[in-house]
Amino acid sequence: MSLSDIDFEIEALRTRLESRENAFTELDAELVDLRNELAQFERDYNNKVRWVENEIKKLDEEILRLERQRTVNLYGDPDPHADWRFGWKPPEDYVNASEQFRRARTPAPPQTGGLMGRIKGGSAATVDETAVKKLYRQLARRFHPDLAETEADRAYRTQIMGQVNEAYTARSLSELKAFLDVPDRAPAQPVQQEPPAHIRLKQLQALYDELGAKIAALQREREQLMSSPLMDLKLDDRLARKQGRNLLDEIAADVRRELKEKQQRVEQLRRALH
């Protein structure tokens, strides 16, 4: 690509970048308004409804506790392994799900002997394991990828170390010795000076791609907010207001009635226990 072509590409990319920047700004402002709108609606919901729902949850737990206590008073302390609601008791050889899972994940004891044992026993007699291990450690200290200073050097060391591992697995002392003459580092590559126009084009392309990723993230967030249960409830509330109704007040009235019923149930159970 000639310099004139690159200059044309740079100008075209600048135009697309400006358009994408405007799209990002508009979408970001839209999301700020949407977040604030939902946050305010959530605060209204919490003030009118959520705290009542939390109280109902506490009362449900208290009702369960009192009903269990009443069962103990009537029938005695149940078997800890029994289901007090249905009177079911497990058989003597019963194994619960957690124990079955533990047994399934416990590895079987290793087997001794067999083919692998015979291979190891036979190879030890014909291969000088001491020399092989000593040379392997020496090569590993030279070619280990963690010693690399650059990505190119790491790729080079990874390739060489893979070949060393293959030779070690084969217990080939001669193959391992062949790596003694291999350079420790990848051969230096000549550095080519890139024209400034090429560099600028790459920089603009990187900015363009980065902005595209940010826009995609904002679009995903907008889709999540628009399809959230909170947004569904807010849209229902908006529709109700057009009909002259206040949906949150209606929900609050319903949960307060339920709260009162739960409170009465708790009082009944407490009186029955005394």
Triad 170, 172, 173: Cα angle to 5°: 150
Rounded CA separation 143/148 (Å): 8
Q: pLDDT digits over 199-248, tens only?
A: 888 889 999 999 999 999 999 999 999 999 999 999 999 999 999 999 99
Alpha carbon distance 181, 131 (integer Å): 18
Question: How does residue 105 score in pLDDT terms, banded at 50, 70 and 90?
Answer: low
What is the DSSP code string of 4-48?
HHHHHHHHHHHHHHHHHHHHHHHHHHHHHHHHHHHHHHHHHHIII
Question: Please, which residues bridge with residue 88 across strands?
Answer: 83
Residue 63: pLDDT over 70: yes
Among the residue ranges 58-67, 103-112, 151-160, the one predicted with the least confidence is: 103-112
DSSP code per residue over 207-271? HHHHHHHHHHHHHHHHHHHHTSHHHHHHHHHHHHHHTT--HHHHHHHHHHHHHHHHHHHHHHHHH
Q: Which of 101-105, 183-187, 242-246, 249-253 has the weakest average pLDDT?
A: 101-105
Question: Tokens representing 220?
Answer: 């995903």
Q: Which of 81-95, 97-111, 190-204 has the highest mean pLDDT?
A: 190-204
3-class secondary-structure state, position 139: helix
Of 196, 201, 139, 192, nearest to 165 by C-alpha is 139
- 45-64 average pLDDT score: 95
